[in-house]
Structure 1
Amino acid sequence: MDFKIVLFVFACVIGTTLGEGLRCYACGFSSVDSDRDCLTITNDTRTVECPHLYCTILRQEFLDPVGQVASFARGCESQPDFLNHEVTDSTFRTFYRACTTDLCNIGNGIQSVTGGNLSPTPEYNGINLLVPGTGDAANIKISLVMLLLSIFVINII
């Protein structure tokens, strides 16, 4: 009987550790803010447990004056608008960056981030990449492991 309890606890632990999320830096800045700490990662930069697939950076610069940051955000998303891309309109140049490893959203937002091999080189040309195998694969794996372990435990009882 004790073996069944130990096996059940083991199954629960395995299920929860498989579901551990991504850690990302999370902060924001707007041109009207005086606190520009989000633009540079420090020991005090806030981190979050991200339940999604991507750590992200969104950097928006004014075209006039050139290079002045209008807004900047670090965070996590399930499906970013773009992985590593730049968009320019009549007012702004916007950099979208995404990566898939812990605390990978560290850059200034201008250079492409490469965590998780989303972009092959730092000189990546900005075209979106389709990344096979992403989505809810981790949740499917957790569910499958829990189902198999439950069946195993039921058969032992």
Structure 2
Amino acid sequence: MKVPGGLSKTELFATGLCVALMSVALSNALDCYVCSYMDGDSDASCVNNASAVRVLNCTMKYCLTVRKELKRNASKVISFLRDCQDEPLINHGNRPDDTIRTYYTSCKQNLCNGHNGRTNNSTGGASGSGAQNAIIPGKSNAQKNCLWAWLLNLLWFQLIF
């Protein structure tokens, strides 16, 4: 049976389903700041001013920052990265070696990696020796549930027709 516009019911349904699934996929995309800085670069916006760097509509799960600084001079940033990844190497925390401390943070909210990369955890303890990290809430599961509902409706529709 043809509907107005010359499309069959199946073609109309397939078009609507594609639009719906694409909108769900786009709603799962995550906006992250992306940039990199190496010691000696003339532009330090990546380290000091996240709002001045590029924003990427990322299809991966996490926004992240990785900050490397000298242990003896914490204000000396050796390298800095804002990016997005499916699985960060380390979610939160730091790894010191003899001369460099590397801070890792990751999060699942739009533009959540705009901080300085060296966020202190308020529960670090009185001695200050606790791990430096950021506690950032993630996305809700509502978007995942919406996708499952669409898939179940598609299966139901295929069984009926």
- Report the TM range for the smaller structure's normalisation: 0.7 to 0.9
Per-residue deviation, 1:68: 0.6
Per-residue deviation, 1:67: 2.6
Counterpart contact for 1:56–1:99, Cα < 8 Å? yes
Q: How has the CA–CA distance of structure 1 residues 95 and 132 changed in structure 2, closer, same or farther, with 3 Å as cutoff? A: closer
Q: TM-score, normalised by structure 2?
A: 0.72
Counterpart contact for 2:88–2:106, Cα < 8 Å? yes
Q: TM-score, normalised by structure 1?
A: 0.74
**Is structure 2 residue 47 aligned with structure 1 residue 41?**
no
Counterpart contact for 1:4–1:153, Cα < 8 Å? no
Counterpart contact for 1:4–1:156, Cα < 8 Å? no
**Is structure 2 residue 82 aligned with structure 1 residue 78?**
no
Counterpart contact for 2:34–2:81, Cα < 8 Å? yes
SS in 2 for 1:26: strand
Which residue does the alignment assign to 2:15?
Answer: 9
Distance 2:73 2:138 in 1: 40
Q: How has the CA–CA distance of structure 1 residues 132 and 32 changed in structure 2, closer, same or farther, with 3 Å as cutoff? A: closer
Q: Which has the higher contact order (CA 8 A, sep 6+)?
A: 1
Unaligned runs of 5+ in 2: 4-8, 125-130
Counterpart contact for 2:32–2:84, Cα < 8 Å? yes
Root-mean-square deviation (CA, aligned residues, Å) is 3.0
**Is structure 2 residue 150 aligned with structure 1 residue 151?**
no
Of 44, 57, 61, the residue aligned with 2:65 is 57
Counterpart contact for 1:15–1:145, Cα < 8 Å? no
Counterpart contact for 1:29–1:72, Cα < 8 Å? yes
Counterpart contact for 1:62–1:93, Cα < 8 Å? yes
Counterpart contact for 2:30–2:61, Cα < 8 Å? yes
Which residue does the alignment assign to 2:6?
Answer: none
Counterpart contact for 2:46–2:81, Cα < 8 Å? yes
Q: How has the CA–CA distance of structure 1 residues 31 and 132 changed in structure 2, closer, same or farther, with 3 Å as cutoff? A: closer
Unaligned runs of 5+ in 1: 113-121
The higher radius of gyration belongs to 2
Letter in 2 for 1:16: M
Per-residue deviation, 1:50: 1.4
Number of residue pairs matched? 142
SS in 2 for 1:8: helix
**Is structure 2 residue 122 aligned with structure 1 residue 123?**
yes
Distance 1:132 1:38 in 2: 23
Which residue does the alignment assign to 2:115?
Answer: 107
